[in-house]
Amino acid sequence: MVTAVRYLGPNWYASVMGTAALALGGAAVAGDGPREVLVGIWALSLLQLLVLLAARALHWVHHRDQALAHLRDPAVAPFYGCLAMALLAVGGGALTIGRDWIGERAAVALDAVLFTAGTAVGLAAAVSVPYLLAVRHRVGPGQAGPVWLLPLVAPMVSAALGPRLVPHLPPGQPRETLLYGCFALFGLSLLATLLMLTLVFARMVTGGPPPLTLVPTFFLVLGPLGQSTTAVGAFADLAPGVVPAPFAAGFGLLAVLYGVPVMGFALLWLALAAAHLVRARRAGMRFAMTWWAFTFPVGTCVTGAASLERHTGLAVYDWLALGLYALLVAGWSAAAAGTVRGLLSGELLAGPRPASVAPRPATVRTTSGAVR
């Protein structure tokens, strides 16, 4: 077991995020639908999180050299944002779905712990990873990719899921402080993401197509778009009775005036990413852990579309959420099946293969061998 986790990178937390997104997205579109199924999916995400936390602890204890190599690798270090988002997504799922199984009191306690830990890790990643990119990694604009967004999106996940804890705090300043704190996290993540997104888009249109294995990461851009739409909807849901009436009304306006155009841009990016994906599949793209990029970002668009349906009353957003959820189920199924096959064969936990004479277009190499 100790040897098996040597090349287990932080990118594996994306599988936890994807499974939790499947449960949260299902709750957003199904309402009081098949709750037992959704509870089972959330329980699976909790189990994945516990197993990965234990495995990553072994990794740091017994393979510290490889763990430090991950931090020095500009292709792997941004995935530390996935740890924060995995904690937050499972915590948010506990309060939304898991309470049917573990009870509301335990769900609130679990969410509070995971929200606090996830927010702390997310803020640390949002500062430390860009710092490492600037000071230690020495990367150029041509190396910019959607994975650079991961540590910057983590605070947005806190902003979107944190308001669920507001009703469980004492009335008055505790509730107001948490809501405004989540709004501050929203601004922090949004502005930082906009700065980084310009580099990602410039690389996308001027640098040529990326290695085939990295093509699914184009879907990561949907994460901040869908999650920010979800966040402003959550602010509008919780603001009445928590903040003064004029500000509560302002949050209601923001949910629509911000969410509608951003969801429009998300659909544009979804079309661009899908076009790249079709091209990559025709060119022979094989399974890699990057396929999990099909899941959590699409899941945020599901919850964002469901939020817009609540605040606009337009049935078109209900249908959009259902369509996106069908896409999420397909993406999760493909990623989960590929992961199970890779684990059974041992390929996903194996070390990096020796370089071949002719580079294989479906493979991307990193300095630490974590992203496969």
Model confidence pLDDT, tens digit, residues 123-136: 999 999 888 888 87
- What are the residues facing 240 on neighbouring strands? 243
* Residue 168 near residue 155, CB atoms below 8 Å: no
Q: Which two tokens stand for residue 113?
A: 């712990």
Report pLDDT for 32.
Answer: 61
pLDDT bin (cut points 50, 70, 90) of residue 64 is: confident
The answer on pLDDT for 365 being more than 50 is no
CA–CA separation, 269 and 18 (whole Å) = 19
Report pLDDT for 357.
Answer: 40
CA 288 to chain centre: 17
Model confidence pLDDT, tens digit, residues 236-283: 999 999 999 999 999 999 999 999 999 999 999 999 999 999 999 999
Q: Which two tokens stand for residue 246?
A: 């004029």
Query: 246-273 burial, b if ≥16 CB within 10 A, otherwise e?
Result: ebbebbbebbbebbeebbeebeebbebb
pLDDT bin (cut points 50, 70, 90) of residue 24 is: very high
- Angle ∠(206,207,209) on CA atoms, nearest 5: 115
* Residue 329 near residue 22, CB atoms below 8 Å: yes
- What are the residues facing 243 on neighbouring strands? 240
CA–CA separation, 94 and 88 (whole Å) = 10
DSSP 226-288: HHHHHHHHHHHHH-BTTB-HHHHHHHHHHHHHTHHHHHHHHHHHHHHHHHHHHHHHHTT----
SS3 content of the chain, % helix, strand, coil (to 5): 80, 0, 20
Report pLDDT for 362.
Answer: 40
The answer on pLDDT for 142 being more than 70 is no
CA 86 to chain centre: 7
Q: Which two tokens stand for residue 191?
A: 């502005």
Q: pTM for this one? A: 0.90
The amino acid that residue 341 corresponds to is: R
CA 60 to chain centre: 23
Model confidence pLDDT, tens digit, residues 190-239: 999 998 888 888 877 877 778 888 899 999 999 999 999 999 999 999 99
- What are the residues facing 350 on neighbouring strands? none
* Residue 184 near residue 163, CB atoms below 8 Å: no
- Helices marked H in 133-244 — which ranges? 150-161, 173-206, 222-238
Report pLDDT for 368.
Answer: 54
CA–CA separation, 189 and 172 (whole Å) = 26
CA–CA separation, 145 and 216 (whole Å) = 11
* Residue 232 near residue 306, CB atoms below 8 Å: no
* Residue 91 near residue 110, CB atoms below 8 Å: yes
- C-beta atoms surrounding 352 within 10 Å: 15
CA–CA separation, 279 and 38 (whole Å) = 34
Instruction: Check residue 210 and report its DSSP letter.
Output: P
CA 227 to chain centre: 9
Q: Is the dihedral of CA 12, 16, 18, 19 positive or negative?
A: positive
